[in-house]
């Protein structure tokens, strides 16, 4: 690049960074994005997209293996080719990463391969394949993401103790596996490996799987997991692991002071992420970092003038769609546009194992704890004609309404297609729709989305089909 000062320089090309860069280009700003590894970041290359390809394979294989006869499919020897499954996943990630490079060209964004470090005074030093250079920008956006958190007693060795990246590209499947952590990443990998015949045990310190979700959602997932043969240990903690040549010995503390030692081939650690804040020059230029995350205000401005931060590096919620929303909001405000705050109270949470889980807003436990009077409506998919026809009857739609004002306070879906269905309820919350607005909206029959209509009806004594 020339020595011309940029309007915006984005450090990091993940779902926050590349989206911010593209929006800046659309707004006519002179913009560049520094990314050392691969455009799209962890989400596109090692998370959101390729994992969904793996989970789709697992879903198809399990459906044929466990329910093929019921569905009328007859085969002598159903099998799978792991190498092709992994290759398909990696190919999809590569395709979309290259697609971002094309979007950059379309929107006048310059991609600068390399690693960026803040120098102060609006300057960033870039160490890339062609050497070291210095760039100047009026506004610098740090979008460096996060990485898998490591347990002190279970360092990753890439063979016996692994993180999510390594779990996505196994050359062969282990016979047995312990997964530490039952958040979205943990339960998605539990489903994938179990579907292909691995003996899976999932361990969670809290009292239930996916502990951030509504309790009914956790219970439904637990039932499904146990039915499929996944061993679930909640209120339990891993006290130590011992890696040997033949496998891993995992010492587990169980409820009521009991202990158990598990002998497995592999351990997957899925206990969350930590921000990538090291060796970026943050402290040197006065950017405040707290507990491993960059501190920002509502416009994503850091404590250093002209330096902003978005995405996983600023902390929870660690979601790709949140990072993208933050990137757009940040850039539009830099450009002087009127832009409302990102609605953190209306962010969907989605987990893509089967059954899927999707939610927005408050849980029933949170409402009880806050003393809020509410109505609850619930509709099981076993009463849905479309779900029965599709052989996907696990799960439900659950809605929570404020008893006094009729506000939709929360929605919790479990089942096939839940991550697609949640958006009707998100839009309802955004538009402050009442139960009458939803009930007076004619839903197509037969669809899974009818379950939303029925659940809302149930909350107000108007459910027709359950």
Do 12 and 114 lie in one domain? The reply is yes
Stretch (H or E) spanning 350: strand 349-351
Q: Is residue 376 part of a domain?
A: yes
Do 165 and 256 lie in one domain? The reply is yes
Residues 365 and 361: their CA atoms lie apart, in Å, by: 12
Q: Is residue 113 part of a domain?
A: yes
Do 171 and 208 lie in one domain? The reply is yes
Termini Cα distance of the chain:
64
pLDDT of residue 465: 93
Do 168 and 251 lie in one domain? The reply is yes
CA-based nearest residue to 237, from 190, 201, 271, 205? 205
Q: Is residue 55 part of a domain?
A: no
pTM for the full predicted model: 0.94
Q: Which residues are known to be catalytic?
A: 445
Do 34 and 139 lie in one domain? The reply is yes
pLDDT digits (tens, 9 = 90+) for 136-187: 999 999 999 999 999 999 999 999 999 999 999 999 999 999 999 999 999 9
Do 176 and 317 lie in one domain? The reply is no
Query: Could you tell me the CATH number of the domain that includes residue 380?
Result: 3.30.390.30
Last residue of a domain, one of 224, 251, 271: 271
Average pLDDT over residues 364-383: 97
Query: Could you tell me the CATH number of the domain that includes residue 171?
Result: 3.50.50.60
Judge contact between 394 and 416, C-beta under 8 A. yes
Q: Is residue 375 part of a domain?
A: yes
Do 20 and 125 lie in one domain? The reply is yes
Last residue of a domain, one of 344, 363, 381: 344
Do 11 and 140 lie in one domain? The reply is yes
Q: Would you state the structure tokens that stand for residue 264, as one six-digit string?
A: 């497995």
Do 237 and 288 lie in one domain? The reply is no
* Domain around 185: 161-271
Do 405 and 265 lie in one domain? The reply is no
pLDDT digits (tens, 9 = 90+) for 57-116: 999 999 999 999 999 999 888 999 999 999 999 999 999 999 999 999 999 999 999 999
pLDDT digits (tens, 9 = 90+) for 276-301: 999 999 999 999 999 999 999 999 99
Judge contact between 311 and 16, C-beta under 8 A. yes
Q: Is residue 454 part of a domain?
A: yes
Do 106 and 16 lie in one domain? The reply is yes
Q: Is residue 69 part of a domain?
A: no
Long-range contacts of 287-294 (CB under 8 A, 24+ apart): 287/118, 287/142, 294/142
The total domain count for the chain is 3
Last residue of a domain, one of 344, 372, 391: 344
Asked if pLDDT for residue 130 goes beyond 70, the answer is yes
DSSP code of residue 37: S
Do 23 and 142 lie in one domain? The reply is yes
pLDDT of residue 333: 97
pLDDT of residue 34: 97
Q: What angle do CA 210, 151, 246 make, to 5 degrees?
A: 100
pLDDT of residue 1: 55
Asked if pLDDT for residue 43 goes beyond 90, the answer is no
Range list of H helices, 39-175? 41-46, 48-71, 82-106, 164-167
Q: Is residue 228 part of a domain?
A: yes
Q: Is residue 74 part of a domain?
A: no
Q: Would you state the structure tokens that stand for residue 341, as one six-digit string?
A: 């705050």
């Amino acid at each position: 690049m020339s020595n011309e000062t940029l309007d915006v320089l984005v450090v990091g090309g993940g779902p926050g960074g590349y989206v911010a860069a593209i929006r800046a280009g659309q707004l006519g700003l002179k913009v560049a994005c520094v990314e050392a590894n691969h455009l799209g970041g962890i989400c596109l290359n090692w998370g959101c997209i390729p994992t969904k390809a793996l989970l789709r394979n697992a879903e198809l294989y399990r459906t044929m293996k466990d329910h093929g006869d019921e569905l009328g499919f007859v085969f002598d020897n159903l099998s799978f080719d792991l190498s092709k499954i992994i290759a398909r996943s990696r190919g999809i990630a590569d395709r979309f990463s290259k697609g971002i490079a094309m979007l950059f060209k379309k929107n006048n964004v310059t991609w600068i391969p390399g690693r960026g470090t803040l120098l102060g005074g609006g300057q960033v030093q870039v160490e890339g394949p062609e050497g070291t250079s210095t760039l100047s920008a009026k506004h610098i956006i740090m979008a460096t993401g996060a990485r898998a958190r490591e347990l002190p007693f279970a360092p990753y060795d890439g063979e016996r103790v692994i993180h999510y990246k390594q779990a996505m590209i196994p050359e062969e499947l282990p016979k047995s596996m312990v997964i530490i952590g039952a958040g979205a990443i943990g339960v998605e990998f539990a489903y994938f490996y179990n579907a292909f015949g691995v003996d899976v045990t999932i361990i969670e310190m809290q009292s239930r799987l996916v502990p951030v979700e509504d309790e009914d959602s956790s219970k439904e997932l637990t039932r499904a997991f146990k039915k499929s043969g996944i061993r679930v240990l909640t209120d339990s903690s891993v006290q130590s692991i011992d890696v040997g040549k033949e496998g891993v010995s995992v010492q587990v503390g169980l409820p009521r002071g009991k202990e158990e030692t598990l002998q497995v081939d592999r351990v997957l650690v899925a206990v969350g992420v930590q921000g990538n804040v090291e060796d970026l020059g943050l402290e040197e230029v006065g950017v405040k970092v707290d507990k491993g995350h960059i501190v920002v205000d509502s416009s994503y401005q850091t404590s250093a003038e002209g330096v902003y931060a978005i995405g996983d590096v600023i902390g929870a919620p660690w979601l790709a769609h949140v990072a993208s929303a933050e990137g757009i909001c940040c850039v539009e405000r830099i450009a002087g546009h009127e832009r409302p705050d990102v609605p953190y109270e209306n962010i969907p949470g989605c987990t893509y194992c089967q059954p899927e889980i999707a939610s927005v807003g408050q849980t029933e436990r949170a409402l009880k704890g806050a003393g809020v009077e509410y109505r609850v409506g619930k509709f099981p998919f076993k009463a849905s004609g479309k779900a029965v026809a599709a052989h996907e009857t696990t799960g439900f739609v659950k809605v929570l309404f404020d008893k006094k004002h009729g506000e939709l306070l929360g929605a919790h879906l479990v089942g096939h297609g839940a991550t697609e269905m949640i958006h009707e309820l998100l839009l309802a919350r955004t538009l402050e729709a009442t139960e009458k607005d939803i009930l007076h909206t004619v839903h197509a029959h037969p669809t899974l989305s009818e379950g939303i209509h029925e659940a809302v009806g149930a909350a107000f004594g108007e459910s027709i089909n359950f």
